[in-house]
């Protein structure tokens, strides 16, 4: 199966802590802007509002990268 380009967003709570992951499909493989239409990602466990069902998994409290 060929998947469309995906847009991943990290949702944060009022204290700035990671709260959830949101994913949408994009109409093309180009950087989105404020006028880009977003579509439901063709993945499992994605709600209609783009929120990824995490089950009982917890997100790390600190954002890290491979270069750190």
Question: What does DSSP say about strands 39-40 and 6-12: parallel, antiparallel, or unpaired?
Answer: unpaired
Tokens matching residue 28: 């093309």
Q: How far from 2 is each of 5, 6, 43, 47, 49, CA to CA, in Å?
A: 10, 12, 12, 21, 22
* pLDDT computed for residue 54 by the predictor: 85
Question: What is the residue-averaged pLDDT of the chain?
Answer: 85
* pLDDT computed for residue 1 by the predictor: 72
DSSP E strands in the chain: the ranges are 6-12, 18-25, 39-40
* pLDDT computed for residue 67 by the predictor: 57
* pLDDT computed for residue 15 by the predictor: 80
* pLDDT computed for residue 45 by the predictor: 92
* Terminal-residue alpha carbon distance, the chain: 34
């Amino acid at each position: 199966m060929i998947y469309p380009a995906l847009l991943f967003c990290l949702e944060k709570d009022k204290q700035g802590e990671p709260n959830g992951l949101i994913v949408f499909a994009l109409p093309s493989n180009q950087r989105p802007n404020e006028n880009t239409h977003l579509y439901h990602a063709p993945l499992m466990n994605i709600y209609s509002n783009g929120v990824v069902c995490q089950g009982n998994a917890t997100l790390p409290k600190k954002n890290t990268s491979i270069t750190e």
